[in-house]
Amino acid sequence: MSLRHTFTVARPHDDEWPAELATIPSPPKSLHYTGDIAVLAQPCVAIVGSRHPTAYGERVARDLSRALASAGACIVSGMAFGVDAIAHRAALECGGTTAAVLGAGIDTVYPRSHIALYDEIAQRGVVLSEFGAGVGTFQGCFPRRNRVIAGLCRLTIVVEAGAKSGSLITAGYAGDFSRNVAAVPGPIDSPQSAGTNQLLRDGAQVIASIDDALALAALTAHANARVPVSLGADEATVWDAVAQHAAASADEIITHTGWPASRCLAALTQLEIHGLLECSAGGVIARR
């Protein structure tokens, strides 16, 4: 193990104990952590999903995490492959905060390839676990982790999830804790959207835009939260429009702005030159 971190233990009666965990049934008896546990005093939003997301799922997870983190949320996830890691990294990339909840001991990085991600989260957010150093993965450890993720957060968003995904366990706990549960709709023939579409059928809130997520988290978008470089006014407006209208075409972006086609297309071209947008063969425009 190459990790070199100081591990601390928080218990329910300690000042640093996350307030949200005090309200759930059978909370953890302790939390082992490295980093700044105070970030959990921010509004916490869980972003979870498939370990094998589609390109659409990757884009949505990244955009949701950036917007929420920029608006003041601490992005909470499980540091797994796929949506979890994308959400953590996107929060860090925009200067926000993130918390990784582990299924095993605080010094056990799973998957092992996420050692660098663990280090970065510990430096700029917090890594935490119910279990102390030396505890490896075991049967049932990840559902226990999912319970803590849901318990920490006022809102759980499932981006993509299969019919038997662990993310549905997180959503189930969030519902049991009377927290907001939301899901991103996907194609009815996509295995990665089977679980999210099931959640929506069963009453989860719909995330149809970035603004939906911000409203459910009771947050307001930061004025410049979604602009990663110095852009002109037109480019910034179109950049936001692309974020708010996932999987949109150029015609749909033009309609949304209400501008002449030439003006909107010029802004889209500049964003592509900056390397911020990509256009698929089917004409779908998305952030990189």
Whichever domain contains 279, its CATH number is 1.10.10
Q: Are residues 47 and 152 in the same domain?
A: yes
Last residue of a domain, one of 189, 216, 243: 216
Q: Which is nearest to 158 in space by CA: 204, 217, 210, 93?
A: 204
> Residue 190, exposed/middle/buried by CB under 10 A (0-12, 13-18, 19+)?
middle
Number of independent structural domains in the chain: 2
Per-residue pLDDT in tens (0 to 9) along the chain, 288 residues: 445 789 999 999 999 999 999 999 989 999 999 999 999 999 999 999 999 999 999 999 999 999 999 999 999 999 999 999 999 999 998 889 999 999 999 999 999 999 999 999 999 999 999 999 999 999 999 999 999 999 999 999 999 999 999 999 999 999 999 999 999 999 999 999 999 999 999 999 999 999 999 999 999 876 444 445 456 778 878 887 887 776 688 898 998 888 999 999 999 988 888 777 878 767 788 876
CATH code (residue 73): 3.40.50.450
- Cα–chain center distance at 36: 19
Say whether both 39 and 93 belong to one domain. Answer: yes
Say what the alpha-carbon torsion angle 22, 25, 29, 30 is, to the nearest 10 degrees.
-50
69 & 120 share domain: yes
Question: Same domain, yes or no, for 111 and 237?
Answer: no
- Residue 266 in any domain: the answer is yes
Quick one: 202 and 263 in the same domain?
A: no
For residue 127, give its domain range: 8-216
Q: Which residue, of 186, 216, 246, is where some domain finishes?
A: 216
φ/ψ of residue 287, rounded to 5: -70, 150
Q: Note whether 40 and 109 are same-domain residues.
A: yes
Same domain, 54 and 81: yes
Task: Give the pLDDT of residue 4.
Answer: 76
Does some domain include residue 224?
no
Contact 238, 205 (CB under 8 A): no
- pLDDT for 230 equals 56
Identity of the residue numbered 223:
A
What was the pLDDT predicted at 234?
Answer: 85
CB atoms within 10 A of CB 185: 15
> What is the pLDDT at residue 42?
96
